[in-house]
Structure 1
Amino acid sequence: MAELFTPRNQAEQEALKRLTGPIHTERHVKVICVGAGASGLLMAYKLQRHFTNFSLTVYEKNPAVAGTWYENRYPGCACDVPSHNYTWSFEPKLDWSAVYPPAKEIFDYFEGFAQKYGLHQYVKLQHQVVGSEWNHDKGGYDVKVQDNTTGTVITDHCDILINAGGILNNWRWPAIPGLDKYKGTLLHTAAWDDSVSLEGKHVGLIGNGSSGIQVLPAIRDKCAKVTTFIREPTWVSPVQGLEQHRYSEQEKADFAGKPNALLDYRKVVETGLNGQFGIFLKNNQINQETHKHMLSQMKQKLNDSFLESKLIPDWSVGCRRLTPGVNYLESLTKPNVKVVYGEINSITERGCLCDDGNEYPVDVLICATGFDTSFKPRFPVVSPSGENLQDKWAGTPESYLGVAAPGFPNYLIFLGPNCPIGNGPVLSAIEAQADWMCQLIDRFQTTNMHTFAPTEAAVRDFVAYKDHFMRRTVWADPCRSWYKPRADGPVVALWPGSTLHYIEAMKEVRMDDFEVGYAGNRFAWLGNGYSQTELDVTADWAYYIRERDDDAPLSTGGRRRVLTKSGTVKGREMVVFSGADTQELAGAAQARL
Structure 2
Amino acid sequence: MLHARTRVVRGRVIYKAGARSEWKARTSSFYLLHSKYHSIMNSNPIHTERHMRIICVGAGASGLCFAYKLQRSFANFTLTMYDTSPDVGGVWYQNKYPGCECDYEAHNYTYSWEPKADWPQVYASADQIQGYFADFARKYDLYPYCKFNHRVVAADWKEEQGSWQVLVQDETGTTTSTECDILVNATGILSTPKWPDIPQLEKFGGAKMHSGAWDTSLDLTGKKVCLIGNGSSGQQILRAIQPIVSDLTVMIRQPTWVFGPFGEPQRDYTAEELQNFKDHPEVLTAKRKRFESRVNSYFGFCQKDSPQQSQIRDHLTKAIREKLGELGSTKVDESAVIPKYGVGCRRPTPGIGYIEAITASNVSLVVGRAREATEKGIVDDKGILHEVDVLICATGFDTSHRPPFTLRGSGGKDLATAWRERSTAYLALAVPDMPNYLVFYGPNNPFGSGPFLATVEAQADYMLKVCDRWQTENVHAFSPKPEVVQELQQHLDSLIAKTVWADSCNSWYKPEGQNVPANLWPGSGLHYMETISAVRWEDYDVRYKGNRYAWLGNGFSQIETDPECDLAFYIGNEDDSEMIGKRTRRRKAAGGNMVDPDSLHVFGPKD
What is the TM-score when the length of structure 2 is the normalising length? 0.89
Counterpart-to-counterpart distance in 1, 2:395 and 2:511: 15
The answer as to whether partners of 1:243 and 1:324 remain within 8 angstroms in 2 is no
Counterpart-to-counterpart distance in 2, 1:30 and 1:409: 14
The answer as to whether partners of 2:57 and 2:152 remain within 8 angstroms in 1 is yes
Task: Spell out, residue by residue over 1:110-154, the C-alpha distance to the aligned partner (whole angstroms, 9 max, x if none).
Answer: 11111111111000001110001111232110000011x211111
How much has 1:386 moved relative to structure 2?
1.4
Counterpart-to-counterpart distance in 2, 1:200 and 1:29: 57
SS of aligned partner of 1:205: strand
The answer as to whether partners of 1:343 and 1:354 remain within 8 angstroms in 2 is yes
Question: Which one of 336, 341, 362 corresponds to residue 336 of structure 1?
Answer: 362
The answer as to whether partners of 1:81 and 1:425 remain within 8 angstroms in 2 is no
Task: Spell out, residue by residue over 1:401-447, the C-alpha distance to the aligned partner (whole angstroms, 9 max, x if none).
Answer: 00000111100000100011221211111000000000010111111
Task: Spell out, residue by residue over 1:375-407, the C-alpha distance to the aligned partner (whole angstroms, 9 max, x if none).
Answer: 111212111211111111111011000000011
- 1:109 aligns with 132
Q: Does 1:400 align with 2:419?
A: no
SS of aligned partner of 2:167: strand
SS of aligned partner of 2:386: strand
SS of aligned partner of 2:50: coil
Counterpart-to-counterpart distance in 2, 1:44 and 1:435: 11
How much has 1:19 moved relative to structure 2?
7.1
SS of aligned partner of 1:381: strand
Question: Which one of 62, 84, 92 corresponds to residue 39 of structure 1?
Answer: 62
- 2:145 aligns with 122
Within 5 Å, give how 1:118-517 maps onto structure 2: 118-147=141-170, 149-238=171-260, 241-303=263-325, 304=329, 306-485=332-511, 489-517=515-543
> Structure 1 residues 479-488 or 463-472, which shifts more?
479-488
* Matched residue type, 1:134: W
Counterpart-to-counterpart distance in 2, 1:351 and 1:169: 27
Counterpart-to-counterpart distance in 2, 1:538 and 1:143: 38
The CA RMSD over aligned residues, in Å, is: 1.9
* Matched residue type, 1:279: F
Q: Does 1:546 align with 2:575?
A: no
- 2:6 aligns with none
> Structure 1 residues 121-130 or 198-207, which shifts more?
198-207
Question: Which one of 580, 597, 607 corresponds to residue 572 of structure 1?
Answer: 597
* Matched residue type, 1:178: Q
How much has 1:266 moved relative to structure 2?
0.1
| Cα separation, partners in 2 of 1:542 and 1:367, compared to 1, 3 Å | same
Counterpart-to-counterpart distance in 1, 2:261 and 2:309: 11
Counterpart-to-counterpart distance in 2, 1:155 and 1:250: 54
How much has 1:489 moved relative to structure 2?
4.1
How much has 1:571 moved relative to structure 2?
5.7
Percent identity of paired positions between Structure 1 and Structure 2: 46
Counterpart-to-counterpart distance in 2, 1:93 and 1:215: 27
SS of aligned partner of 2:395: coil
How much has 1:241 moved relative to structure 2?
4.9
How much has 1:240 moved relative to structure 2?
6.6
SS of aligned partner of 2:173: coil
SS of aligned partner of 1:191: coil
How much has 1:47 moved relative to structure 2?
0.8
The answer as to whether partners of 2:368 and 2:380 remain within 8 angstroms in 1 is yes
Counterpart-to-counterpart distance in 1, 2:549 and 2:159: 22
| Cα separation, partners in 2 of 1:574 and 1:90, compared to 1, 3 Å | closer
How much has 1:38 moved relative to structure 2?
0.8
How much has 1:334 moved relative to structure 2?
1.1
* Matched residue type, 2:246: A
Question: Which one of 51, 56, 60 corresponds to residue 28 of structure 1?
Answer: 51
Counterpart-to-counterpart distance in 2, 1:153 and 1:547: 60
- 2:26 aligns with none
- 1:15 aligns with none
Task: Spell out, residue by residue over 1:511-547, the C-alpha distance to the aligned partner (whole angstroms, 9 max, x if none).
Answer: 0111100000011101111111111234221112233
Aligned length: 557
> Structure 1 residues 72-81 or 231-240, which shifts more?
231-240
How much has 1:103 moved relative to structure 2?
1.1
Question: Which one of 91, 98, 103 corresponds to residue 80 of structure 1?
Answer: 103
How much has 1:248 moved relative to structure 2?
2.4
- 1:59 aligns with 82
The answer as to whether partners of 2:100 and 2:233 remain within 8 angstroms in 1 is yes
| Cα separation, partners in 2 of 1:491 and 1:428, compared to 1, 3 Å | farther
* Matched residue type, 2:77: F
How much has 1:487 moved relative to structure 2?
10
Structure 2: segments with no counterpart, 5+ residues:
1-40, 601-605
Counterpart-to-counterpart distance in 2, 1:246 and 1:415: 32
| Cα separation, partners in 2 of 1:456 and 1:524, compared to 1, 3 Å | same
Structure 1: segments with no counterpart, 5+ residues:
1-17, 576-591
* Matched residue type, 1:539: C
